[in-house]
Amino acid sequence: MTIGSPLPHEAASLHVTGRARYVDDQPLPENALHLAFGLSKVARGRIVKMDLSEVLNSTGVFGVLTANDLPYENDTSPGAKDEPLLAETDVYYVGQPVFLVMANSHLAARKAAQKGKLEYETYPPVLTIQEALDAESRFEEGPRIYQKGDAETAISVSDRKLSGVLITGGQEHFYLEGQAALAIPSEDEEITVHSSTQHPSEVQHKVADALGFGMHQVRVEVRRMGGGFGGKESQANGLAIACAVAAIMTGRPCKMRYDRDDDFIITGKRHEFKIEYEVGFDETGKINGLSFIHYVRCGWSQDLSIPVSDRAMLHADNAYNLAHCRIESHRLRTNIQSATAFRGFGGPQGMLGMERVIDHIAHDLTLDPLIVRQRNYYTDAKDLKPNFKDMQTTPYGMKVKDFVLNAMTDEIVKTSDYYKRRKDIEAWNLNNSILKRGIALTPVKFGISFTLTHLNQAGALVNLYQDGTVRLNHGGTEMGQGLFQKIAQVAAKSFGINLASVKITATDTDKVPNTSATAASSGSDLNGMAVKIACETICDRMSGFLAEYYQEKITSVRFEGGLVQIGKHEISFPDAVQLCYQNRVSLSATGFYKTPDIFWDRIKGHGRPFFYFAHGVSVSEVVIDTLTGENRLLRTDLLHDAGASLNSAIDVGQVEGAYVQGVGWLTTEELVWDNAGKLMTHAPSTYKIPAFSDRPDIFNVALWDNENSEETIYRSKAVGEPPFMLGFSAFLALSHAASFCGKNYPELNTPATHERLFWACDRVKHGD
C-alpha cells in the first residue's frame, strides 16, 4: 500500500550526499557566459545618461545589453506587460534592472555591474500606503468591494462596537537556493532553458516573446528548486529571459544567478497590508456586522497583486460565519519591489485581520478569545441540517459544506490541555513581574483552487516500458514540497507496483504542455489526478487486452502487489506488460484533469471559487520579557486537516515547516526601507528568518484524519499553504502575554519584533 505511507522525499538520498543538482550545479561548457544586472539606484526617475564604458572595460566582460539592444518584447510580467526586463527610460524602484552584463565568470559579471555610471532626473517616490493613497497611485480603477448583508447597519445597531487597525509586514521568501537560470542555444533557432521556476510554461511563453519565437522553439526544464514558496512563480522570468536573449545573441550558453543581496533587492516579496476594521457585536461575543478595508502595498508593477488582493478578501472571514460583512480592497502602486506570490497568496493577511478582530472583541469583553471564536465559527458539516435551505455561506456566497473546525478545536483543546494551561499562565503571571506568558488557539480555513478558474487544469504523460517500469512526467514542479514522491505513490498504486519501478523526470515543457504554476497548493490535487487518469488509461487498455487473452471478464482484472490478476489467472506485472507489448497494446498515455464545479465572478465577488476548504488549528505558548520585548516560543500543538493524507511524513513536514515560516513572518522577519525607497535589510545578516533555536521546545504535530468530502486524489487535501497560517497562534500568544502588563489592548502589529513587543507592553501599561 503506497498511498499514505510515510516514505522519504524522492531525492532524499541525493540531498544528503550533495548529488542533487540545482540549476547552478549543471556543468557548463567552457564558453559559457555569466550574467548580472546593473540596477537602478533611485526609486523613481528618468535615466538621462548611461555611461557603461567602465563596465565594458572591466576584467572578463564580454558585452553589455540595454533595453535598446533587446530584439523583441522587453517584458517579464506574468500578464500586465508593465515590467520591462531592462528599464527603458524611467525607473520605478531601487533595484530595477537597467543593464545586463555578460562576462566570463559570475564574479566578473557582478563586479562589472557595479561600474555603470547612471545619471537620473529624480522624482519624489511614492513609498508608503499613505503616500500612494494621497497620490491616487493604484492598480484597477478603484477599490474592489465584496459584501454580504448590510454591515454598516448591523454594526450601528450593535450593543458594542470596536474599531482598529492592523498592519502586517511583508516577507522575503528566502528560498535557500537563490534565483537561477541557464539557457543553452541549439541549432536552428531553438533554445533550452533550465530555470529555477515554479512556472515553466510561463517562462517558455515569456522567453518565446522575448525572442520573437513560437513557444515550440523553446524548451524549459525544471528538475528541482531549492525552495520556492511563491517567490519563483513570476520572479524567475527575468533571469530566464535575460539568459535566453543573451544566448541567442551570442550563440553561447548563458547562466545567471542572483547573489543573495541582489535577490533581495530585485525580487518581489509578500504584500504588506494595512487593515482597518469596524465591528459590531453583542455581550456574548457574537459578531453582528463587520467591515474591513484592506490597503495593499503592491510595489511598482502589477505582477500578481490583483489575485493576491482578491484572495485576501476571500479569506477575510477565516473560520467565522458572518451575516453582515463588507470588504473593501485598495491595490496601491508604490516605488518598491513588486510584491508577489508568497505561500498563502494574500490569504494570511486577510485571515489575520479577522483573527485580530476576534482577539480585540475578547479583550473588550474580558473573555477567553477561544469562546469568541467558537461562538462565531461556521457549523461543522456533520451538524448541518440535511437540505438546510439557508446553507451557511461565505461573504462571497460560497456554501460552507465541509467545515470541521468545531471538532478539531475540541480535539486540540484536549490534547494541548488548553484550559488548564491558560489558568496556570494567569497564575504564573501574577507571580512574575518582568516575564509574562501567553497562550492562544487559532483556527485556519483556507480555500483550495486557483481563483482564476482556467488555471485549475493539469496534464501528465505516463510511459510504461516493456520491462514493467514507469517513467512519468506531469506539469508540477518540485521545490521541496514532496510533490514528486506523492505523485510517484499515486502511479505505483495505480499499477499496483513497487515505487522502485517508478521514476519521475524533470518537469519539461516538451513532455507536458500548457501547465499552470505549481502554486495555490494545487500541485498534488491537479497533477495527482492527471497522472492517475493517465495510469488508468493504460490500465484500461491492458485490462481490455488481458481479459480477452485469458477469456475473463474485464472487471476481474486487478493490479496489486506487483501482480496482475485476471479472473483466476495471476501473472507478474512485468510479464503482463511484456505480453501487452508483444500484442501491440499502447503503453503510453497522457492524462488531463480539470477541477469540477467551480465558478467565480471576481468583479461581483460571487461564486464558488474553491473546490473545498482545508483546515487547521494551533495552540502556541510563549514567554516575553517586558523589559526588552525578547520572547520565546515554549510549546506548540498543531492539528492539521490534510484529508486522507497521500504521505503522512511529507504532510507533517509541510505543516511543521509552514508553521515556523509563518511564525517568522509574524515575529523576526522585518523588511526595512529607508526614506529614499532603498531596501536596507537585503541579506540574512539583517533579515532574520527563524533559526534552529527558534522552533518551539515542545512541538506536537498531528494530522486530522478525515477524508475530503470532495473527490480529490485519494480524498487527500492540499497541504502546501494552509498550515502557514497556523503561525497566527504564536503571534496572538505574544499579544496575550503583553496584555498582562496592564489594561489597554496591545494592538500589536507584525512583525512582532522584540522592539514592537516592547512598545506594545508599554502601550498596555500607559496607553498611547
Partner 1 sequence: MNIRFLLNGETITLEKARPEETLLDLLREDRGLCGTKEGCNEGDCGACTVIVIDENSVKPLNACILLLGQVHGKAVRTIEGVGVDGKLHPIQDAIIKNHGSQCGFCTPGIIMSLVAAQMNNEKDHDVALAGNLCRCTGYAPIIRAAEVAQQVVLPEWLIFDREKLVSCAILPSLEQPKSSDDIAALLVKSPKTRLIAGATDIGLWLTKEFRDISPFTFLNQANDLTKIEEMEVDYKIGAMVNIEDLRLWAASVSPSYGELLRRYASIQIRYAATIGGNIANGSPIGDNPPALIAAGARIELRCGESRRTLPLEAFFIEYGKQDLRDGEFLESIFVPKDFENLCCYKISKRFDQDISAVCGCFNILVQEDRIVKARVAFGGMAATPKRATHIEEALIGRDWSLATIQSCENLWDKDFTPLSDIRASSAYRLKTAQNLLWRYYRESLGETCNVLEVSA
Binding partner of residue 479 among ligand FES, partner 1, none, CB cut-off 5 to 8 Å per kind: partner 1
Query: Least Å distance between CB 686 and ligand FES?
Result: 14
Q: Shortest distance, CB of residue 523 to ligand FES, whole angstroms?
A: 16
Would you give the distance in Å from CA 305 to the centre of its chain? 13
Strand partners, 145: 328
Q: Which does 608 bind (CB under 5 to 8 A by kind): ligand FES, partner 1, none?
A: none
Between 469 and 753, name the residue whose CB sits nearer to partner 1. 753
* CB-facing half-sphere around the CA of 275: CA atoms within 13 A: 34
CA distance 275 to 354: 10
Cα gap 436→430, rounded to integer Å:
9
Least gap, CB of 664 to ligand FES (angstroms): 13
Smallest gap from residue 128 Cβ to partner 1 (A): 17
Residue 486, all three cell numbers: 506523492
Helices (H), 453-514: 483-495
Please state the closest distance from residue 21 (CB atom) to partner 1, in A: 7
Residue 560 designated active-site: no
* Distance separating alpha carbons of residues 163 and 151, to the nearest angstrom: 13
Residue indicated by cell numbers 514528486: 484
Positive or negative, the CA dihedral 398, 404, 410, 415 is negative
3-state secondary structure of 623: strand
Minimum separation from the CB atom of position 498 to partner 1 (A) = 18
**Amino acid symbol at 527:** N
Nearer to partner 1 by Cβ, of 48 and 627: the residue is 627
Q: Residue 252 touches which of partner 1, ligand FES, none (CB < 5 to 8 A by kind)? A: none
Our CB check for ligand FES shows the closer of 402 and 656 to be: 656
Of 190 and 261, nearer to ligand FES (C-beta) is 261
* Shorter beta-carbon distance to partner 1: residue 81 or 688: 688
Report the nearest approach of ligand FES to the CB of residue 15 (Å): 7
Residues 78-107, interacting with ligand FES (CB under 6 A):
none
If one counts every other C-beta atom within 10 angstroms of the C-beta of residue 184, the result is 21
| Interface with ligand FES in residues 509-568 (CB under 6 A) | none
User: Judged by CB, which is closer to ligand FES: 227, or 476?
Assistant: 227
Determine, following the binding rule CB under 6 A, whether residue 176 of this chain makes contact with ligand FES: yes
Burial bucket for residue 19 (CB in 10 Å: 0-12, 13-18, 19+): exposed
Q: How far apart are CA 260 and CA 226, in angstroms?
A: 13
Query: How far, CA to CA in Å, does 475 sit from each of 59, 220, 461, 483, 518?
Result: 42, 12, 9, 11, 8
Nearby residues of 155 by Cβ (< 8 Å), 6 or more positions away: 161, 278, 279, 280, 288, 289, 290, 291, 324
| Number of chain residues interacting with ligand FES (CB under 6 A) | 3
Residue list 468-507, contact with ligand FES (CB under 6 A): 480
Beta bridge partners of residue 607, listed in sequence order: 600
Q: Which residues are bridge partners to 148 per DSSP? A: 325
Q: Measure the CA–CA gap between 550 and 659, rounded to whole angstroms.
A: 54
Contact 497, 470 (CB under 8 A): yes
Minimum CB distance to partner 1, residue 457 (Å): 26
763 binds, among partner 1, ligand FES, none (CB under 5 to 8 A by kind): none
Task: Please say which residue, 607 or 657, places its beta carbon nearer to ligand FES.
Answer: 657
The C-alpha cell that represents 655 in the structure block: 505543516
Nearest to ligand FES of 176, 627 (CB atom): 176
* Residues listed for the chain: 768
Enumerate residues 678-737 that contact ligand FES by CB under 6 A.
Answer: none
Helices 728-738, 754-766: axis angle to 10 degrees equals 40
DSSP per position, 545-605 = HHHHHHT--GGGEEEETTEEEETTEEEEHHHHHHHHHHTT---EEEEEEE--S-EEETTTT
692 binds, among ligand FES, partner 1, none (CB under 5 to 8 A by kind): partner 1
State the binding string over 225-264 for ligand FES (x if CB under 6 A, else -). --x-------------------------------------
Pick what 190 binds: ligand FES, partner 1, none; C-beta below 5 to 8 Å, kind-dependent.
none
Q: Residue with CB nearest ligand FES?
A: 176
- Picked from partner 1, ligand FES, none, the partner binding residue 19 (CB below 5 to 8 A depending on kind) is partner 1
632 is in the binding site of which of ligand FES, partner 1, none (Cβ under 5 to 8 A by kind)? partner 1
CA–CA distance, 521 with 658 (Å, rounded to integer): 12
- Selected catalytic residue, list 355, 721, 747, 755: 721
CB under 5 to 8 A by kind: which of ligand FES, partner 1, none does 563 bind?
none
Shortest gap between Cβ of 6 and ligand FES (angstroms)? 17
Query: Of 218, 169, 213, 220, nearest to 197 (Cα)?
Result: 220
For partner 1, give the closer residue by CB, 32 or 290: 32
CA distance 283 to 261: 51
Asked if 662 touches ligand FES (CB under 6 A), the answer is no
Which residues are identified as catalytic?
Answer: 721
Q: Which residues bind ligand FES (CB under 6 A)?
A: 176, 227, 480
